[in-house]
Amino acid sequence: MIKRIEISDLRVGMYIHDLNCDWMSHPFLRNRFLLEDESDIRRIADAGIYEIYIDTSRGLDLVHAPTVQEVECQLDSEIRAFATEAPPAAARREAGEEIGRARQVHHEASRIMHSVMNDVRLGRQVQVAQVEPVVERMTGSLLANPGALLSLCRIKDKDDYTFLHSVSVGALMVSFCNARQMGAERIFHAGLGGMLHDIGKMRIDDAILNKPGRLTEQEFAVMKCHVVESRRILEATPGITAMAIEVAAQHHERHDGSGYPLGLKGDQISELGQMAAIVDVYDALTSDRCYHQGMAPTDALRKLYEWSRHHFNPALVQAFMRATGIYPVGTLVRLESGRLGVVVEQNEKSLIAPKVKVFFSLRSNSHIPPEVVDLSRPLGFGGGDSIVRHEAPEKWKVDPLRFL
């Protein structure tokens, strides 16, 4: 049985099932292991981890600890409680209408970031003029329909992760800032900072940066230096604003002071820095890597919400969830009616009742004519259904983007 316990209850002989943090927040070679030494408990605490999940079938139990199912049920209940508060504004275009332009923007952004990062690796200066037009086009697409571009950003080639992650963080920062109704100048520089937030990784040895497995403690320490390198590179780059530098310099700081490189805490971290931390972890969690499979967006959002008790600004995490939707556009979902569908648009009334394009009946085990169902409407008015859970597209051999 998998249970969540507080670090104060951790004992030698327990089996760690999940360290309950993103992979760049702990120095362990494995995420699952039998706890055999008191020193490992101290290392876990020193990593800023407050709660972990144990497997009681492989180690000691803690009777009063809640199960993972109980934890997720409680988290989902809390998320649903604020899911109808200030939902996102209606998109100007449907995702299907915007997806073509979004593909072009995503392709161009990926190409530019590949070029910019290669220049830095070769010792050249960042050419801001290359990146700025991409941020502007990205902003235009996201204003028309954020779901189209963001759904494309979730698709990453493992070999090009560093470049594509930068594109995704830039897009997510623009979308997040826009949802919070920030000014155009602030949105632009937040997006620019997001695109360049990991530029310092080009100063990290390839053997560490592209290692097909978890890093050793020494390699982990080297990798963490990329934040300082990003700040140095951008501070030496003409045309970069303090807002953009904040995004790069603070995206690994944490609300409780457990982050790096400076261990800033609470409001010592700028607003954009706090937002970048959320965005960076969300994209990392939802991305496939050589050493772990990405989470579904809905599961990643639940994790962010769980960690917001310590590592992130809770109000900003909730704002981010409202900006993306509990079930982001492009999510494959199972409905109570026994149909499969793809989320095509967030709903102005409720984040848990988006518009879904249904295409498959589980009851008849056959495809059905695609139909958009507005889950916020009652039965007889195009609705009367609800999401049971999200589904893995790989399981059903479905490309959700086909239905946008």
Determine the CATH number of domain 2-66: 3.90.105
Q: What are the tokens at 289?
A: 């890597």
pLDDT in tens, the chain (404 residues): 999 999 999 999 999 999 998 766 666 777 889 999 899 899 888 888 999 999 999 999 999 999 999 999 999 999 988 877 666 666 678 888 899 999 999 999 999 999 999 999 999 999 999 999 999 999 999 999 999 999 999 988 776 888 899 999 999 999 999 999 999 999 999 999 999 999 999 999 999 988 877 788 899 899 999 999 999 999 999 999 999 999 999 999 999 999 999 999 999 999 999 999 999 999 999 998 776 788 999 999 999 999 999 999 999 999 999 889 899 999 999 999 999 999 999 887 788 899 999 999 999 999 999 999 999 887 655 567 899 999 999 999 999 999 98
Between strands 15-18 and 33-34, the pairing is: antiparallel
Kindly list the distances between the CA atom of residue 340 and the CA atoms of 29, 168, 388, in Å, as whole numbers in the listed order.
38, 27, 10
| Angle, helix 68-82 to helix 314-324, in steps of 10 degrees | 80
Give backbone dihedrals phi and psi of 359, rounded to 5 degrees, phi first: -150, -5
Kindly list the distances between the CA atom of residue 185 and the CA atoms of 58, 72, 89, 351, in Å, as whole numbers in the listed order.
54, 39, 20, 28
> What local confidence, expressed as pLDDT, does residue 29 receive?
72
- CB burial of residue 225 (10 Å; 0-12, 13-18, 19+): middle
Task: End-to-end CA distance of the chain: give it in Å, rounded.
Answer: 39
Kindly list the distances between the CA atom of residue 235 and the CA atoms of 228, 248, 260, 282, in Å, as whole numbers in the listed order.
11, 10, 18, 26
Place of tokens 């329909």: 145
Planar angle of CA 152, 138, 271, nearest 5 degrees: 100
Q: What are the tokens at 186?
A: 């602030």
The residues, ordered by sequence, that sit 6+ positions from 118 with a Cβ below 8 Å of its Cβ are 202
- CB burial of residue 327 (10 Å; 0-12, 13-18, 19+): buried
The count of other CB atoms within 10 Å of the CB of residue 262 is 15
Whole-structure pTM value: 0.93
The DSSP string of 56-82 is: TTSS---TTSPBHHHHHHHHHHHHHHH
The count of other CB atoms within 10 Å of the CB of residue 362 is 13
Place of tokens 């995704």: 168
Length in residues, the chain = 404
**CA dist., res. 64 & res. 57, Å (int):** 16
> What local confidence, expressed as pLDDT, does residue 371 receive?
93
- CB burial of residue 251 (10 Å; 0-12, 13-18, 19+): buried
CB of 214 closer than 8 Å to CB of 29: yes
Q: 127 in helix, strand or coil? A: coil
- CB burial of residue 281 (10 Å; 0-12, 13-18, 19+): buried
Place of tokens 């571009």: 149
The count of other CB atoms within 10 Å of the CB of residue 230 is 26
**CA dist., res. 291 & res. 22, Å (int):** 13
**Domain extents for the chain?**
2-66, 95-324, 332-403
The DSSP string of 317-362 is: HHHHHHHH-SS-TT-EEEETTSEEEEEEE--SS-TTS-EEEEEEET
The residues, ordered by sequence, that sit 6+ positions from 69 with a Cβ below 8 Å of its Cβ are none
Superfamily of domain 95-324: Hypothetical protein af1432 (1.10.3210.10)
> What local confidence, expressed as pLDDT, does residue 333 receive?
97
